[in-house]
Amino acid sequence: MTPSPTPLVAPGDAPGPPAYLEIRALSSPTDVAPLSVTDLSEWFDPFLKYFMRETLRSGGEVVVAGDGRVVRGVFLHDPVERVASIFTRSQAVANAFYGLRDHVAVYSELPLGSARENFDIFVVNLADGDIPYTYSHTVRAVRDEDRVPILALMTAIYGRFNGAWLGPAFQGTEKGYLAEVDGRPVGAAWVSAVEAHGRLHSLSVLPRYRRLGIGSDLWHARVQWARRNGVRRIFSEIPEDNVASRAIAVRGGMRRVGLAFQCVRP
């Protein structure tokens, strides 16, 4: 199916994107391959085509702003979890994308709206060989039979969770890990790897089991997997007020290198 044009309206008096940029929605993961998606983000560039394919595969929507096959902006939206992400170097494109959907939380490296939560970007270069670490809890890689327990775990923590997203956790690009107490899943986290680039994300622990070292266990399990699979640099976005996750990152040698935002679109 040919991608169809999608009208954009910038919120308020914000200027719209340049007239020469075509705005269109992608309809299939196969639409992503011919596109040139580069220089939209200092940290996320290696992952953007993967994000786009998986968003479409999981029932979400992808809108791009581009000049021919050259993409200047990407908008991702998950209607189940009501979250969106914007990747672009252009404030005008970001403003226009921000107006696409109401009542969503929008992640962006450019500031948008007035209600924002700051996310710090932490990064570490990985040395060869595993780092000695003693686990406090049982941590193991997710298996096919874990889909239902993971869905229950994530729904209990967040209320809304798109279970279709779990597909990549059982493939090569993503690796998921579960933490268990008395055989019960109490925490989960994922790591993405694209070539030599890695990203730690979606660390989730049931409230009653927090501050027991589970986050540290999941951090080390994912970093060890990334190192063994050729990742040389790994990063993570951590909310500014998440003191526990920031402490885990710093203990692991990560350093703060950038800032991003999660903005609420009313």
CATH value at residue 208: 3.40.630.30
What confidence score (pLDDT) does residue 167 get?
76
- Asked whether residue 266 is assigned to any structural domain, the reply reads no
Please tell me the distance from the alpha carbon of residue 50 to that of residue 229, in angstroms, as a whole number. 18
Q: Distances in Å between the alpha carbon of 52 and those of 57, 58, 86, 91, 180? A: 9, 10, 11, 21, 32
Same domain, 22 and 82: yes
Q: What residues form DSSP beta bridges with 84?
A: 77, 106
Tokens for 81, please give them: 């979890």
Same domain, 84 and 143: no
Same domain, 106 and 184: no
Tokens for 9, please give them: 């309206």
Domain membership of residue 193 as a residue range: 123-258
Among 113, 145, 170, give the residue marking a domain's end: 113
- Asked whether residue 263 is assigned to any structural domain, the reply reads no
- Residues 44-82: pLDDT tens digits? 999 999 999 999 999 999 999 998 899 999 999 999 999
**Is the pTM value of this prediction over 0.85?**
yes
Same domain, 169 and 237: yes
Number of domains in the chain: 2
- Residues 112-164: pLDDT tens digits? 988 899 999 999 999 766 678 999 999 999 998 999 999 999 999 999 999 99
Among 113, 139, 165, give the residue marking a domain's end: 113
- Residues 2-20: pLDDT tens digits? 334 444 444 444 556 676 6
End-to-end CA distance of the chain: 32
Same domain, 128 and 244: yes
CB 83 within 8 A of CB 107: yes
- Asked whether residue 152 is assigned to any structural domain, the reply reads yes
Same domain, 45 and 133: no
Please tell me the distance from the alpha carbon of residue 52 to that of residue 76, in angstroms, as a whole number. 7
Q: Is the pLDDT of residue 210 over 60?
A: yes
- Asked whether residue 265 is assigned to any structural domain, the reply reads no
Among 74, 94, 113, give the residue marking a domain's end: 113
Same domain, 135 and 60: no
The CATH number that applies at residue 77 is 3.40.630
